Amino acid sequence: MTENVRPASNSQAQCADQVPEMDLGAFRKLMRNAFAIASEPSEANPKLTRFIAPPYNPFVSKATSVEGHNGGTKISPRHILTLLKKFAIEPKDFLAALRDGEETAPPSPRPPELPGSQRPN
């Protein structure tokens, strides 16, 4: 008798369906602590947050910005999945980090300064 084994794409789709809407501050902390993805708010648009992969140089790093909703305080599952894909993070790994409790960290009032993120005067 043979077993029906689900293709990997189905399990990935199931994981993607489980990604919740999150508080932006908690999501930023999770990305920083679990995946070393830094973030900083946009000065031009308070709803935008820029996420930056190591080596944290804004001129050469892999980076992308997403717009939060609910006044820039929440991030949707669709935007979370976009960020995970951009930084090559599997949804199952993200969900595992989320289950491990990283999301319970309080939102940070101000993100850490990134080296090279300030332009000289």
Average pLDDT over residues 36-42: 89
Alpha carbon distance 92, 19 (integer Å): 9
What pLDDT shows up at residue 82?
A: 93
In the block, tokens 């000289």 appear at 120
Q: pLDDT grade, residue 73 (50/70/90)?
A: confident
Alpha carbon distance 22, 11 (integer Å): 22
Alpha carbon distance 119, 121 (integer Å): 6
**What is the residue extent of each domain of the chain?**
16-103
- Partners of 22 in the β-ladder: 75
What pLDDT shows up at residue 69?
A: 85
Q: Who contacts 92 (Cβ-Cβ below 8 Å, separation ≥6)?
A: 11, 12, 15
Of residues 112 and 18, which shows the higher confidence score?
A: 18
Alpha carbon distance 61, 11 (integer Å): 30
Span 86-116, pLDDT tens digits: 999 999 899 988 888 654 444 444 555 556 6
Average pLDDT over residues 47-54: 89
Average pLDDT over residues 70-74: 84
At residue 98, the 3 state secondary structure works out as helix
What pLDDT shows up at residue 75?
A: 93
Of residues 84 and 2, which shows the higher confidence score?
A: 84
What pLDDT shows up at residue 77?
A: 93
